[in-house]
Structure 1
Amino acid sequence: MTHGAIVWNELATNDVEAVTGFYGDLLGWKAKSQPMPGGGTYWVWQHADADPDADPSKVGLGGAFQMEGPQFEGLRAHWGVYMTVDDCDAACEKVGALGGKVVQPPFDVPGVGRIAMVADPAGAVFGIMTPETGD
């Protein structure tokens, strides 16, 4: 893991079926579904020629999920980016000191790592994460 590397891109959408077809036809991506902890489905983007039996976290280009619930009210579909940090909690403390804002405090995703959503001083939101396995 490299501190500051861009490691994941994620699409929050209100129509998973339409976007998986769109990106499949446009870019040759396929979307492999997997259950999310707590319910729902997460779609991992892969190149069309990716090994279907490979671990999605190793061959994934990014992911997508259906925006459901009150936290998504009023939000439009959007892409998000995630960068690695050595320590998610410490980085969140630093965000405020640098004029940014913690939008969603750190939380753990089993098998993935510790993630938080933050905003820069101009309000652009992005994710920071400390991978569970370090890669």
Structure 2
Amino acid sequence: MPQHGTFHWNELTSRDVERDKRFYQDTIGWTFVSMPMDRGDTYWCAIHDGKPVAGIFPLTSPEFDGVPEGWMPYLAVDDVDARVAKAVKAGAQLMRPIFDVPDVGRIAILKQPGGAGIGWMTPVGM
């Protein structure tokens, strides 16, 4: 069970998903399971020792032009809506509206006051 305030998930944002899947498969031994996304793309869940350990998010839509490739960490939080309200008051910027991913949780993408990106999520069952 995830605990509030701890890192819960890591996601690679990628413009070349197949390249990145090959890299992590060849170097780390990850396998991948596809998960269709609402916008028509495929999200890739990395599996290690039978457990999901990370994801690869494709940056194929024009809305992601200018978004750099890189790793996005996600913190587990007890109430993403209430915590985001506090974060915005403290100087963070909500990058897109808070959204739900079925069977995963409620997610916010923030830019903290110094400019670094961070995901916060209330995982299902937390």
Correspondences of 1:69-88 after superposition (within 5 Å): 69-88=61-80
Secondary structure (helix, strand or coil) at the match of 2:81 reads helix
Aligned partner of 1:104 in structure 2 is 96
Alignment map for 1:120-135 (pairs within 5 Å)? 120-134=112-126
Cα distance in 2 for partners of 1:68, 1:18 equals 14
- The AA in structure 2 aligned to 1:106 is I
> SS of the residue aligned with 1:60?
strand
The one-letter code sitting in structure 1 at the alignment partner of 2:15 is N
When normalised by structure 1's length, the TM-score is 0.86
2:4 corresponds to which residue? 3
Shift of 1:71: 1.6
The Cα of 1:133 is off from its aligned counterpart by: 1.9
C-alpha distance in structure 2 between counterparts of 1:76 and 1:99, whole Å: 22
Deviation of 1:76 after TM superposition, in Å, equals 2.5
Larger displacement relative to structure 2 (89-98 or 69-78):
69-78
Amino acid at match of 1:6: F
1:118 match: secondary structure: strand
Distance 1:43 1:17 in 2: 10
- Following superposition, the deviation at residue 66 of structure 1 comes to 1.5
Report the Cα distance in structure 2 between the residues aligned to 1:120 and 1:38, rounded to whole angstroms: 26
Seq. identity, %: 43
Map 1:1-135 → 2, pairs under 5 A: 1-47=2-48, 49-50=49-50, 59-134=51-126
Structure 1 residue 91 displacement after superposition: 0.8
- Please report how far the alpha carbon of residue 127 of structure 1 lies from its aligned counterpart in structure 2 after TM superposition: 0.4
d(CA) in 2 for partners of 1:36 and 1:97? 31
Measure how far apart 1:65 and its partner are: 2.1
Q: CA RMSD in A?
A: 1.3
Q: What TM-score results when the alignment is normalised by the length of structure 2?
A: 0.92
Gaps of 5+ in 2: none
